[in-house]
Chains A and B, each alone.
Chain A
């Protein structure tokens, strides 16, 4: 070090030509690069060390790294099976069942959270003192108690305070079904389900094979929504050209509902009611305690956050906007719908995305109440029965990462459509 020239002289005018290694550290132009390269090097070293350690430890324990277990038979049963599954199916299929259960919960949870959140957010701004106080209490209670606790509370309330199926039995049962159709028990809620007399079969879509009937229904609904959107665009065009908006409501109803009704009738749709058989209710759709606890827990918990986001979004729009709208003679409802909300959405959507992501990731708490999501099947029982922690966890991480990236990708597309266009 003694022989190195003083770094201050090195950075003088002719420094460009005379480069000396010590400048890597003492010359500001190079220092940050040096540090970055060094940091990268350390990072790679530690990664290499970790991987090496894993390989070594696996070898020491006499273990291999392989995903072969996914094709072996799982051996355990799953209660909520959106697709065909038995204990003889493979671990891979068990993981797929778990994945679908995760998606079901995430979608229904986001829907519930959005409805609850938007309602609560708007109502919290209500001029009615009691309403706004009540909503404040809801928001504060749910935001300040961890989501896991809420899930456990909902689960415990269902299991402890609802009647057992056996109390529906007998000539003078202690409990009876709601509208003769819905049974609320300590094992969940049984609701009627829609069945078809004409089965079109299943779409041969590899392992999932969804029913063609439902795909048809879904297709008709989506087509109706698009047709309706076209109708409304047309009405707006007429309004812009002539100043008179043609009546659309009955056409909308026709477009949206008639084709669905026709399809249902054509396929012979009817309701199947739950009925007491043996130990439990059979028939209908069984919304299990585990599902209800997760759905309500996640929905109301996340809803409280969304309420705050919505309220913040609305408050962020300056008062002048609504005053201007009122001055134009718009009623409060229309002001909210046409002036305030479209602008508030720009503020609301980015934090909303992260709430959706949170909810989706929180579905992995399912294990706590025995909801058979991906974490409980692949990441729980499968890992436990096969001992493939590393492989299972890597898969789990990959899947959750993919789900999260997909959600934020879709929401970002939506966001860029509603955000302020700078022309």
Chain B
């Protein structure tokens, strides 16, 4: 009888450890029927639930495109709001399949934290926002100011460097989320709010009086923001990466959510045909069907459409394309060839 108990215990242990040895991320997502995407806790234009509780935004749109590519349904995503502090553990522990949350690609994160950055969906830099009545016109006038920063970000490291290098002092007020930072800043508990310029613009757009706040001209760092996956699952990293490239290439090739159905029937541009799966059989090379990219584009539009509808100059956020224009337009967006 004791023997049976032992065998049972061993079996249980073996079973649990067996389960721990993971399926591939793609298999997990497919068998779950849902993509789990790590998002902002709320940054208008990038990732935030709208009045109906539906997540909207630029980063959110990327996750929807990915869900459309992998699962055929852009609504088969659940969004997990993550703070700057919790995002990497959430990804590492498998709580989310992908992180699309204005996360900067850095050496330490890529190499030492063992993340895989698949690319850049927004080229950004760190800036400073102050109230207009403070009368400050340059970041170099900020000596002695109280500065709100989110902890666990590149922001706090850049800030320390910038002030030290320029021989200035400051009083950091560390906060946990963008919402908290905005609240402290609006209450006047800090003079300056610093983070990625895109997030500053998005915060400012959500203020009651956006005109009362200025973003100072200095951009003090490079912040290439992009989707991140766990280290070690190359197939999944490829899928996420090429979904991003598909959106970028679609804009370059003139494929939009409006004409994608029509172009899918076949066109005389072989690159478009390979992108949309009428030629080349690319999708099956990483375990999807050949329509994957067409579905992603149909769901959220190409990169330019997604940008314009969430953060572009026609939206309250009002960001110009700047560095995020296609390489053919003097920007940095450049997708490798689909072949």
Residues of A within 8 A of B (CB): 1, 24-25, 38, 42, 45-46, 49, 53, 60-63, 75-79, 86-88, 159-160, 164, 166, 186-187, 277-280, 282, 289-290, 367-368, 370, 372, 376, 380-381, 384-387, 389
Contacts and interface: CB of A to CB of B under 8 A. Distances in A.
Interface of B is mostly: mixed
B275 to A, nearest CB: 33
A225 to B, nearest CB: 37
A376 B152 CA distance: 10
A186 B20 CA distance: 50
Given A63-B114, A76-B160, A384-B84, A280 B151 contact: no
A87 B161 CA distance: 8
B311 interface: no
Contact of B159 (A77, A372, A380, A389): A77
B9 interface: yes
Contacts of A46: 13
A372 B113 CA distance: 24
B114 A380 contact: no
Interface residues of B, number: 49
Interface string B5-23: 1000100010011001000
A90 to B, nearest CB: 14
Contacts of A387: 88, 108-109, 112-114
Chain A to chain B: the 5 pairs with minimum beta-carbon distance, closest first: A384-B152, A387-B113, A87-B160, A278-B144, A370-B174
Given A42-B9, A79-B172, 8 more contacts: A77-B163, A79-B173, A87-B160, A159-B184, A160-B187, A368-B176, A385-B157, A387-B108
A277 B169 CA distance: 13
Contacts of A61: 92, 114, 230-232
Interface string B235-277: 0000000000000000000000000000000000000000000
B174 A372 contact: yes
B24 interface: no
Contact of B187 (A159, A367, A380): A159
Given A61-B114, A186-B188, A278-B144, A76 B156 contact: yes
B13 A49 contact: yes
B54 interface: no
B151 A376 contact: yes
A368 B159 CA distance: 21
Interface string B103-119: 00000110011100000
